């Protein structure tokens, strides 16, 4: 009788090897999948839960396989009772398979409930349990793809090793070491070279054309106080998508006169896009020319705004400070990329720092040359990657005061931000990471910003001299994501939780890193006051660091009502 295995096609045998599973790996992978279903900072729908669950399950599977190999080699080898009988092995395998199938399915029920709890904290509706069961299907597909890729790489190592042994008669261990090194180098070159550069090139092809367009309803300003106007040194076409939105938006003198009940000048908005000039230095020169032309250095307030990846400036932050100072303001910003912040952060985060430093240094030098009594009040604002870039322009906190900045507002700073991370690490003993205190709040303070009252309480006097304020939600993954989450429990998960983080969140090695990574994709997709969406608490931040003389809480609420009215009008449009 012909042996049936002898007629199997070699490719089919190899394909089957890609999905054949180790039972210890299956057990550990199931545990990792179950842990991935526990709650994190933000709600996750079934699709993202399946994606993260599949990745974690594949990592757990690999760790399980490694653990099994170590046990067989160093613990079980030579034992009289090992290996056990075939019957015992079959029973164990059946038990592992049954448990690995049952436990994850059962875990999806409390997982959906946890997601509803997190959603309730955000003020949104959570997922229904039946629909959340689809998580398992996505996880199986993702996990299988990851394990198959690993096995393809391992088979490639074996193939190279066999070639080396056959041709050069190398010892098997030496051949496998060389084969592994070759595959690792090729894989790293593929990821960091071809795939990485291809990703950036593809992103450029997608986002560069958008940079040449304008949002609906955006038209070239005619007021000479705006860049892109006929009087400006920066042409309208050169400003980019976000720059055109910035200079054409916001309140005009009539709007501010109506709001504050007294005559208002036209607010100044100066901007330079990537196409305005070839280098950061040349773009700063254009900014300075427009600042001189518009009389920006004669205004009461001059606000420097390092932008996010696309060149975006938060319209709420801009309108809030203009409303507070009744238009006696000059806002200046500069684009350094047309890619979204997360791509810019991965691709070349130093561009944000270099651009911010060039703009801050150039404008400050011109401002510092003015007579001390004739200078405008100098403010600095940065949000997300704009905060990252702005912080990178200073070596340490005293530099900000030495440059005579009156107030600095940084919103949603990425965890890798230089000043933020240094201040948090050196925070006063006994203060939590989620709301630290540094030097008893003499210069810099941190606010959870989940409620306007929180920000107002943070700004309580005494607070003399330069004021630096960080707004950071306890649920903002941009603030709390770090590679350290892979293997180190952060303080913010051992200390009392923030107001909008679920008490059910726990830290698990590797698992939590991928959970928070998934949260970052939805960081701005949650309601105001949560995640990376700071809403109109930016207004309260401005009132904390740069209140006009005689400013009252009633004034803040009056401006807030106008911001809400404007936002509703824009949404309706």
- State the DSSP code for 530: B
Give tens-digit pLDDT for 534-551: 999 999 999 999 999 999
Residue 513: which residues within 8 A CB-CB, separation 6 or more? 483, 485, 486
Describe the strand order of the beta sheet including 301-306 as a list of residue ranges.
268-272, 329-334, 301-306, 377-383, 407-411, 467-471, 444-447
Per-residue pLDDT band for 15 (boundaries 50, 70, 90) equals low
Compute the distance between CA of residue 27 and CA of residue 60 in angstroms, rounded to an integer: 8
Q: What is the mean pLDDT of residues 494-522?
A: 92
Does residue 337 contact residue 344 with C-beta atoms inside 8 Å? yes
What's residue 449's pLDDT? 82
- Give the Cα-Cα-Cα angle 14, 17, 21 (nearest 5 degrees): 175
Per-residue pLDDT band for 7 (boundaries 50, 70, 90) equals very low
* Average pLDDT of the chain, as a whole number: 89
Give tens-digit pLDDT for 216-275: 999 999 999 999 999 999 999 999 999 999 999 999 999 999 999 999 999 999 999 999
What's residue 244's pLDDT? 97
Neighbouring-strand partners of residue 446: 470
Compute the distance between CA of residue 490 and CA of residue 474 in angstroms, rounded to an integer: 13
Choose among 203, 53, 207, 78: nearest CA to 132: 53
pTM reported for the whole predicted model: 0.88
Any long-range contacts for 117-121 (C-beta under 8 Å, 24+ apart)?
117/39, 117/502, 117/504, 118/39, 118/40, 118/41, 118/42, 118/43, 118/502, 119/43, 121/475, 121/500, 121/501, 121/502, 121/530
**CA-based torsion, 550, 552, 554, 557: positive or negative:** positive
pLDDT of 201 > 80? The answer is no
Does residue 434 contact residue 448 with C-beta atoms inside 8 Å? yes
pLDDT of 60 > 50? The answer is yes
Q: What is the mean pLDDT of residues 109-128?
A: 93
Q: What is the mean pLDDT of residues 139-149?
A: 91
Residue of 93 and 300 predicted with greater confidence:
300
Does residue 108 contact residue 33 with C-beta atoms inside 8 Å? no
What's residue 199's pLDDT? 66
- State the DSSP code for 467: E
Buried-exposed string 356-378: b where 16+ CB fall within 10 A, e elsewhere: bbbbbebbbebbeeeeeeebbbb
Buried-exposed string 546-572: b where 16+ CB fall within 10 A, e elsewhere: bbbeeeeeebbeebbebbeebbeeeee
pLDDT of 432 > 80? The answer is yes
């Amino acid at each position: 009788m012909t042996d049936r295995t002898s007629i199997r096609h070699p490719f089919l045998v190899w394909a089957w090897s890609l999905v054949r599973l180790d039972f210890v790996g299956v057990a550990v992978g199931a545990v990792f999948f179950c842990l991935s279903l526990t709650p994190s900072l933000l709600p996750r729908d079934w699709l993202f839960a399946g994606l993260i669950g599949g990745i974690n399950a594949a990592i757990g599977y690999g760790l399980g396989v490694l653990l099994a190999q170590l046990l067989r080699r160093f613990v079980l080898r030579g034992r009289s009772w090992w290996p056990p009988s075939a019957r015992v092995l079959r029973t164990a395998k059946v038990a592992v398979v049954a448990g690995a199938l049952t436990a994850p399915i059962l875990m999806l029920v409390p997982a959906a409930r946890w997601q509803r709890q997190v959603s309730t904290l955000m003020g949104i509706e959570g997922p229904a349990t039946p629909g959340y069961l689809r998580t398992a299907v996505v996880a199986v597909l993702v996990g299988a793809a990851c394990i198959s890729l690993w096995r393809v790489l391992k088979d490639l190592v074996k193939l190279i090793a066999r070639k080396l042994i056959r041709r050069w008669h190398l010892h098997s261990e030496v051949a496998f070491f060389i084969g592994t090194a070759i595959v690792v180098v090729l894989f790293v070159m593929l990821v960091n070279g071809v795939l990485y550069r291809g990703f950036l090139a593809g992103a450029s092809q997608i986002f560069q054309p958008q940079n040449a367009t304008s949002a609906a309803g955006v038209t070239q300003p005619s007021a000479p106080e705006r860049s892109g106007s006929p009087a400006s040194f920066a042409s309208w076409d050169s400003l980019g998508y976000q720059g055109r939105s910035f200079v054409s938006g916001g309140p005009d003198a009539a709007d501010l006169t109506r709001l504050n009940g007294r005559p208002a000048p036209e607010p100044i908005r100066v901007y330079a896009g990537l196409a305005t000039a070839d280098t950061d230095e040349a773009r700063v020169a254009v900014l300075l020319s427009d600042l001189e032309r518009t009389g920006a250095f004669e205004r009461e307030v001059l606000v420097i705004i390092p932008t996010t990846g696309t060149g975006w400036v938060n319209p709420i932050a801009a309108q809030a400070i203009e409303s507070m100072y009744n238009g006696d303001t000059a806002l200046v910003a500069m684009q350094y990329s047309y890619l979204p912040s997360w791509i810019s952060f991965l691709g070349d985060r130093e561009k944000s720092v270099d651009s911010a430093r060039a703009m801050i240094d150039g404008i400050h030098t011109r401002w510092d040359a003015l007579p001390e009594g004739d200078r405008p009040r100098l403010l600095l604002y940065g949000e997300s990657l704009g905060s990252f870039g702005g912080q990178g322009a200073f070596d340490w906190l005293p530099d900000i005061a030495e440059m005579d900045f009156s107030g600095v507002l940084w919103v949603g700073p990425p965890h890798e931000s230089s000043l933020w991370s240094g201040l948090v690490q050196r925070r006063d003993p006994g203060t939590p990471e989620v709301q630290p205190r540094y030097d008893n709040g003499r210069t810099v303070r941190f606010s959870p910003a989940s409620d306007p009252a929180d920000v107002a309480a943070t700004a309580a006097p005494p607070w003399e001299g330069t004021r630096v304020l960080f707004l950071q939600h306890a649920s903002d993954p941009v603030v709390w994501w770090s590679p350290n989450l892979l293997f180190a429990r952060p303080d913010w998960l051992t200390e009392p939780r923030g107001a909008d983080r679920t008490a059910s969140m726990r830290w698990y090695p590797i698992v939590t890193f991928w959970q928070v990574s998934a949260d970052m994709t939805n960081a701005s997709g949650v309601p105001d006051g949560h995640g990376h969406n700071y809403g109109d608490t930016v207004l309260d931040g401005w009132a904390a660091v740069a209140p006009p003389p005689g400013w009252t809480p009633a004034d803040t609420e009056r401006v807030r009502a106008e911001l809400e009215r404007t936002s509703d009008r824009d949404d309706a449009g």
